[in-house]
Structure 1
Amino acid sequence: MFRKSGYAGTSMQDIANELGIKPASLYNHISSKQDILVELLSFGANLFVDGMKEIKSSKVNELQKLERLIALHLRITVEHTDLMALIAVEWRHLEGEGLREYLKLRNSYENDFRIILKGAMENGLIHAMDIEIAFFSILTTLKWFYSWYDKHSQLSMVDIEEYLKQLLLGGLKI
């Protein structure tokens, strides 16, 4: 519902109606719409953080880690397309501690991504270039992949993954 109507455009009444319950019954389980958003975005952020931990600890070089990060994004997008829409857009509605925790997880993930990218450059696996431009280009493509995937979900994920690896990293490979 948050993806279809936006966080601001979805009411607790709408959520209750969708679930087929009365709003009062909904409030027996959650205290606010904000709690739902926090729960969803925390779940999503942790998918990325957990994936990053696994990738960071793997015994492969930084280029292979970047390839695994691309695969991680694609897998999460395919398995949780609506969640990716929330991560891309609706996180801005988070407040207070929920916002602080979400940003902590996101910043941790992004910093680890930059470290891997920098390592790939320093080890001569990809061309040295401005890390922020490379980071922005790769992550922006992956972040918004969900909006493209909706219209192209009939394509093979194996092919999509290979094409995106070539596109996003091919220009950087030495």
Structure 2
Amino acid sequence: MINKPNLSKSIILSTSAKLFRAQSFAQVSMRDIAKALNVKASSLYNHISSKDEILEELIFELVDTFMSKINETLHKTIDTKSKLEDIIQTHINIAVHKPNQFATLNNDWKYLKPNKKGNFQNQRQNYEQILKSIIVKGVDNQEIKNSNPEIILYLMLSSLRTLHLWYEKKDIDTQTFKNEIPKLILEGIIK
């Protein structure tokens, strides 16, 4: 007798994220997901209604995490450097612990249904505005070099959004990664 895998929504989501990262959302079918899970495609529908639902859950779980953490950081009574370090650590933790889901967020959001895509874009814009407000306050308080806040914002985000691409490929222990990335990103902007 063949043992059936213990199929749960979380296993479906993590397996799907791995497949989406390797091939992209557009290239993966429900049959591909079922095959990776060693079940029939019909079994998936007992846990999830569609591939679109999988994508939404993967993306909006991280969107909620990012928004919750940046709002929490915004309201802390700490200096700008500490706030930026806190935000960087959030990105690092997700890149280290959920790299496939992070890749799905960054690469496959464009496949969201129009209303969900609009929601995602609004949330991303809101995140960027909050981060920019922290940077502007840091410039105003002379905690950050007097540089263009937009350039600082996109320099940070371009670095943070790609952490998952190279972290797993390098022989760097997690603690070194967590210690060095904030220092290297902020070294050029913090006085």
Instruction: Identify the TM-score tier after normalising by the shorter chain.
Output: over 0.9
Q: Within the alignment, does 1:17 sit opposite 2:35 as a pair?
A: yes
Q: TM-score scaled by structure 1?
A: 0.92
Q: Which amino acid aligns with 1:156?
A: D
Q: TM-score scaled by structure 2?
A: 0.84
Gaps of 5+ in 1: none
CA RMSD of aligned residues (A): 1.5
Which structure 1 residue ranges, 4+ long, deviate > 4 Å from structure 2? none
1:115 to 121, 125, 133: 133
Report the count of equivalent residues. 173
TM superposition shift of 1:30:
2.6
1:56 to 33, 54, 74: 74
Residues 126-157 of structure 1: CA deviation (Å, up to 9, x unaligned)? 111111111111111010011110112x4233
Q: For residues 161 and 124 of structure 1, what CA distance do their matches in structure 2 show?
A: 26
Alignment of 1:139-154 (within 5 A): 139-152=157-170, 154=171
Alignment of 1:127-142 (within 5 A): 127-142=145-160
Equivalent residue for 1:158?
A: 175
TM superposition shift of 1:112:
0.7
Q: Which amino acid aligns with 2:136?
A: K
Q: Within the alignment, does 1:125 sit opposite 2:143 as a pair?
A: yes
2:92 to 74, 82, 102: 74
Secondary structure of the equivalent of 1:40?
A: helix
Q: Which amino acid aligns with 1:66?
A: L
Q: Which amino acid aligns with 1:2?
A: F
Q: Within the alignment, does 1:95 sit opposite 2:113 as a pair?
A: yes
Gaps of 5+ in 2: 1-18
